[in-house]
Amino acid sequence: MNIASCNIQLPSSSYYSSCWCISPSTFSKPKPKQLSFNRTTASLLDMDATTNPGLYPLQRCKTLHLVRHAQGIHNVAGEKDHAAYLSEELFDAHLTPLGWQQVDNLRKHVQETGLSKKIDLVIVSPLLRTMQTAVGAFGGEGYRDGIDIPPLMVENAGESHHPAISSLNCPPFVAVELCREHLGVHPCDRRKSINEYRPLFPAIDFSLKAMRIFCGKLILEKRMKKLQLEE
């Protein structure tokens, strides 16, 4: 598992003391080690918020965990032939069976360490593979018919062959366009419309950046037209 920690200063009343980057693709490796550039706990405790208004003591800090999506079909195709990234068949790539296994392993770790009880919010980019990774790792248990709340993910969403995932006993999920992969020429980095996503992920909140998501699609179309003209 690849994990890095760092200190992040935000222009708000909160100070995010640490940032953990997790890659599910190597999750079966030994436990992570904290990199040397992370500040020590002692130095954070010694901070005096009265002398520097931009720094805050640990009791007013939040931890930000960054999780990379698990293996997608585009990763497998691209490893065999880099030109495959240009294939329209990889549009909005979904997770592979191995990717779902990586997600399940991450979920077990999150549950066993008690981290699942400390998460206040899950922010996810609106791509199929990232939403599958997020709900699989941080969502509720398996969804059962008769429960009077929408599931986080319906059964077999995005050719996953995965059972539905409940939104019970888990943090809220919000899709944010600015978290997604940069827009370019690779179809795997493009996505479906939010109208197609909502039935697949009913409990994910797409309203926060609905306008940005729409604008993102326009930006992509403009860039694609520019590339076609240059060719």
Same-domain check for residues 55 and 101: no
Q: Is residue 75 part of a domain?
A: no
* pLDDT for the residue 149: 83
* pLDDT for the residue 141: 78
**Token match 């986080």: residue?**
152
Same-domain check for residues 63 and 93: no
What is the 8-class DSSP label of residue 201? S
Provide the mean pLDDT of the chain: 74
State yes or no: is 69 an active-site residue: yes
Joined together, the tokens standing for residue 57 give: 């003591």
Q: Is residue 77 part of a domain?
A: no
Identify the residue with better confidence: 31 or 163: 163
Contact 24, 133 (CB under 8 A): yes
Same-domain check for residues 142 and 220: yes
* pLDDT for the residue 100: 95
pLDDT in tens, 24-65: 655 544 444 433 333 333 343 343 444 455 566 777 788 888
* pLDDT for the residue 53: 52
Spatial CA neighbour of 151 closest among 107, 130, 162, 213: 162
Identify the residue with better confidence: 113 or 225: 113
Same-domain check for residues 108 and 213: yes
Compute the half-sphere exposure of residue 95: CA atoms within 13 Å on the CB side of its CA.
28
Q: How many domains does the structure of the chain reveal?
A: 2
Exposure letters 117-133 (e unless 16+ CB within 10 A, then b): eeeeebbbbbbbbbbbb
* pLDDT for the residue 145: 59
User: Could you say which of 68, 99, 114 is where a domain stops?
Assistant: 68
Same-domain check for residues 59 and 100: no
Q: Is residue 167 part of a domain?
A: yes
Same-domain check for residues 10 and 123: no
Show the domain range for 48.
Answer: 1-68
Q: Is residue 20 part of a domain?
A: yes
Q: Is residue 74 part of a domain?
A: no
* pLDDT for the residue 129: 95
pLDDT in tens, 148-158: 788 999 998 98
Same-domain check for residues 42 and 94: no
142, 72, 193, 151 alpha-carbon torsion, rounded to 10°: 0
Catalytic pick from 69, 74, 94, 186? Answer: 69
pLDDT in tens, 185-206: 999 999 998 899 999 999 999 9
Spatial CA neighbour of 214 closest among 186, 195, 227: 195
Same-domain check for residues 55 and 100: no
Same-domain check for residues 35 and 114: no
Q: Is residue 125 part of a domain?
A: yes
State yes or no: is 181 an active-site residue: yes
Q: pLDDT band for position 1 (50/70/90)?
A: very low
* pLDDT for the residue 27: 52
What is the C-alpha to C-alpha distance for residues 32 and 147, in angstroms, rounded to an integer? 38
Contact 154, 165 (CB under 8 A): no
Length of the chain: 231
Q: Is residue 120 part of a domain?
A: yes
Rg, Å, the chain Cα set: 19
162, 73, 26, 40 alpha-carbon torsion, rounded to 10°: -90
Same-domain check for residues 154 and 44: no
Catalytic pick from 65, 109, 155, 181? Answer: 181
Same-domain check for residues 133 and 209: yes
pLDDT at 147 over 80: no
Q: Is residue 84 part of a domain?
A: no
Same-domain check for residues 168 and 54: no
pLDDT above 70 covers what percent of the chain? 63
